[in-house]
Structure 1
Amino acid sequence: MPQEPPVLPSLPRVGVYVDAENIRYNGGYQMRYDVLRNFAARQDGILQRLNTYIAYDAQRADEDPEYKKKSRAYQQMVRDFGWKITVKHVRRYTDEAGNVSTKANADLDMAVDAMLQAEKLEQVILVTGDGDFLQVVDALQNRGCRVELIGFKNVSRQLQQEADAFWSGFLIPDLLPVSYEPRNEWGKPGSCVRGVCTKWFPDKGYGFLRFMSHISPNLWTVDPRDPTSPYVSVFCHANEVAEDVSEDMLLNRETILEFYLAESEQKDNGLVAQNVRLAFGINR
């Protein structure tokens, strides 16, 4: 009898939901949507939904043609990368003292979309740090979705713990460009990267940093000695560490460091860290 062909595993359907205003105000200004798309597809998943929720101030646009021009150009660029944009118009509120505040909250739209579309998804990536999404994460998981979280600064600790995986946007290669290095080739000698300290020996005055060299489906393989790992270990001498970076910070894996890479004079194909400092002033 002829054998039936083997059943191939289906590719996971992925939905990405970006709380753009939360990200913009918490360290993710200039986040690259093309890199985010590549990261979401790193396991060859089908990008079923790519949604972002962006604020737009119509009143300011009427008064400031340059703002209107830049906003429209930015939205078009994001659409060119295949994203659906939900525009949230800024609303103004005046309190009893006459103080005017603005708000363009996309939480409800984003939560409803994720819940309604979840039945056709296996994986959901939420790009936010807002703890209000805690129940949304729980509900999506109960519907069978794997939920990953990407954030920059001020990310809810509970939200990180509830998600199936949390990725710091600072550590994803090129997701957040290095503004003062326009031609930065992430991971190459001479480039600027962001990473964490994995080992530090205060009595010896040196340690080792680790950074993600490229986007890979094997992000869980954190040991740089594994040939399938996308992570690289870098030697760091204490003399290269900024004065405001304490030993306690170095010993805390949540401290995000920014540093330059240089070729090691002691080890073939080895790298050393130079000008090591806190990334974007976080953890201060």
Structure 2
Amino acid sequence: MGSNFRVGVFVDAENVRYNGGYQMRYDVLRRFAAREGGILQRLNTYMAFDAERAREDIEYRKKAYAYQQMVRDFGWKITVKLVRRYTDENGNVTTKANADLDMAVDAMLQADRLDQVLLVTGDGDFLQVVEALQNKGCRVELIGFKNVSRQLQQEVDAFYSGFLIPDLLPISYEPRNEWGKPGSCVRGVCTKWFPEKGYGFLRILDQISPNLWITDPREAGSPYVSVFCHANELAEEVTEDLLMNRETVLELYVNESDQKDNGLVANNVRLAFSVNR
């Protein structure tokens, strides 16, 4: 892409938080959005804040403000949506802090000065927004974690699982993790499996790159890496049916192969996410 290629990012933070993306790193998201060398024209995120709780819970208030400041330090504009409480006729209290409308309106108003829009959400309510943005000439990409609308995935120009983007969602029990390096913990998908032979191949995204479309690890310039996996390394919950489903996300450790130069093998392969669960 040229240096004048303008990118806008719009994050539905509450949807992400409640659907598998808790602790998503905004610095990595920014790096992903800029992977093709474009200008990051807009970096918008929409967060909920419970003012009533903040008045009573000092710890909540401190953490919320500290988190917002950290995100701002990475160059993001935060639109804060106050949590509202509603009481039904039976006295049940529900809370709501929906930022869908704000995010949709901002995306539409700012689209005339953007070439590409990256939406971070799984909410199918953005389907018409995607269509409108595309009609304005914008390329629309989507990042989601769990419960991502199938229609939304099919409507955008490209969908990326947030689980598979290196370091976007940290491995909580591996704080010093170096994604893709021997001994590191990563997430990937199964591309080939041979039940009769008891082994197959997994694929991981090794680095954030403009060449995400080169999905074959054998091709020059591909940011993907093939990892050999023996059936003995699979957790009991990782069934053959799940392996054959490309939407199944696996979590695993990678190590250097003793038998193949520069090859990687998978260890301790377990289920991270599947649409069937």
- Residues 121/181 of structure 1: CA separation in 2 closer, same or farther (3 Å cut): same
Task: Give the aligned partner of residue 31 of structure 1.
Answer: 24
Per the alignment, in what secondary structure is the counterpart of residue 254 of structure 1?
coil
1:280 is displaced (CA, Å) by 5.1
Amino acid at match of 1:31: M
Contact 1:242 / 1:275 at 8 angstroms: preserved in 2? yes
Q: 1:200 aligned to 2:193?
A: yes
- Residues 205/12 of structure 1: CA separation in 2 closer, same or farther (3 Å cut): same
Structure 1 residues not aligned, in runs of 5+ = 1-7
1:224-268 Cα distance to aligned partner (Å, 9 max, x none)? 011200000000000101111110110110100000001111101
Q: Which runs of 4+ in 1 moved over 6 A?
A: none
Task: Give the fraction of aligned pairs with identical amino acids, expressed as a percent.
Answer: 81
1:12 is displaced (CA, Å) by 1.1
1:147-173 Cα distance to aligned partner (Å, 9 max, x none)? 000000000000000000000000000
Identify the match of residue 16 of structure 1 among 9, 12, 33: 9
Q: Which moved more, 1:8-17 or 1:26-35?
A: 8-17
Identify the match of residue 256 of structure 1 among 249, 257, 264: 249
Distance 1:281 1:24 in 2: 18
Per the alignment, in what secondary structure is the counterpart of residue 180 of structure 1?
coil
Amino acid at match of 2:189: V
Question: Across the two proteins, how many residue pairs are aligned to each other?
Answer: 277
1:269 is displaced (CA, Å) by 1.1
1:10 is displaced (CA, Å) by 5.0
Amino acid at match of 1:253: R
Distance 2:207 2:3 in 1: 25
Per the alignment, in what secondary structure is the counterpart of residue 279 of structure 1?
strand
Task: Give the aligned partner of residue 43 of structure 1.
Answer: 36
1:283 is displaced (CA, Å) by 3.8
Contact 1:256 / 1:282 at 8 angstroms: preserved in 2? no
CA RMSD of aligned residues (A): 1.1
Identify the match of residue 175 of structure 1 among 159, 168, 187: 168
Per the alignment, in what secondary structure is the counterpart of residue 245 of structure 2?
coil
Q: 1:77 aligned to 2:70?
A: yes
Q: 1:154 aligned to 2:165?
A: no
Q: 1:211 aligned to 2:204?
A: yes
* Superposition TM-score, scaled by structure 1 size: 0.96
Task: Give the aligned partner of residue 103 of structure 1.
Answer: 96
Contact 2:248 / 2:273 at 8 angstroms: preserved in 1? no
Contact 1:27 / 1:280 at 8 angstroms: preserved in 2? no
1:282 is displaced (CA, Å) by 6.0
Distance 1:234 1:75 in 2: 38
Per the alignment, in what secondary structure is the counterpart of residue 253 of structure 1?
coil
Contact 2:247 / 2:275 at 8 angstroms: preserved in 1? no
Distance 2:35 2:100 in 1: 26
Amino acid at match of 2:87: T
Contact 2:21 / 2:169 at 8 angstroms: preserved in 1? yes
Q: 1:229 aligned to 2:214?
A: no
Per the alignment, in what secondary structure is the counterpart of residue 124 of structure 1?
strand
Task: Give the aligned partner of residue 233 of structure 2.
Answer: 240
Per the alignment, in what secondary structure is the counterpart of residue 136 of structure 1?
helix
Distance 2:201 2:2 in 1: 39
Distance 1:98 1:214 in 2: 51
1:9 is displaced (CA, Å) by 4.8
Amino acid at match of 1:228: G
Distance 2:179 2:82 in 1: 36
**Which protein shows a greater Rg?**
1
Distance 1:175 1:28 in 2: 9
